[in-house]
Structure 1
């Protein structure tokens, strides 16, 4: 079973999905922005050798809109990511 955690800006995240070896901690830490802190999940996808990060909320989170619910992740991957791209999903687990 794949279990990895990362701490950044007083938050701790667990890598819950790593598809095609998309998880790269150094690249994530370089691209991370504190705007992502408000989200329950962070998705990182690779295209043209660049990492793109996007935040998602739990479906039950009152801040979520249709496009920011984690249940729409597959739609996001199909519409905005290259076919077969490497990606990862982080879940916020607690403060550092």
Structure 2
């Protein structure tokens, strides 16, 4: 489990070892808290984060629903890039990663 912005997340997918806790901590923004999923993809040694809603979320559009994740990866990410998918959880367990420090 990962804690970021006071929210709990779990790693659903870690494609080609895309998960890097330090890079995630550095790139995380509070604006991502509203989303149910966060996808992090790597291109040119830079981590990019994008939020997605669960499919039945009232604010979900075709492009922002998690069911469009494969389309996003195929159309907007570098071919064959490393990436990860985090899902927001409601459980309160001990985190495996440190919470982002406020600096």
Same fold (TM over 0.5): yes
Q: TM-score range by the shorter chain?
A: over 0.9
Q: Which has the larger radius of gyration?
A: 2
Give the aligned length.
92
Q: Secondary structure at the match of 1:89?
A: strand
1:82 maps to what in 2?
A: 78
Q: Which structure has greater helix proportion? A: 1
**Structure richer in strand, relative to its length:** 1
Could you state the TM-score of these two structures normalised by the residue count of structure 2?
Answer: 0.86
Distance 1:85 1:94 in 2: 29
Q: Is the 8 A contact 1:10 1:95 kept in 2?
A: no
Moved segments of 4+, more than 2 Å: none
Q: How much is the aligned-residue C-alpha RMSD, in angstroms?
A: 1.1
TM-score (norm 1): 0.93
Is residue 2:40 matched to residue 1:44?
yes
Contiguous gaps of at least 5 residues in structure 1 = none
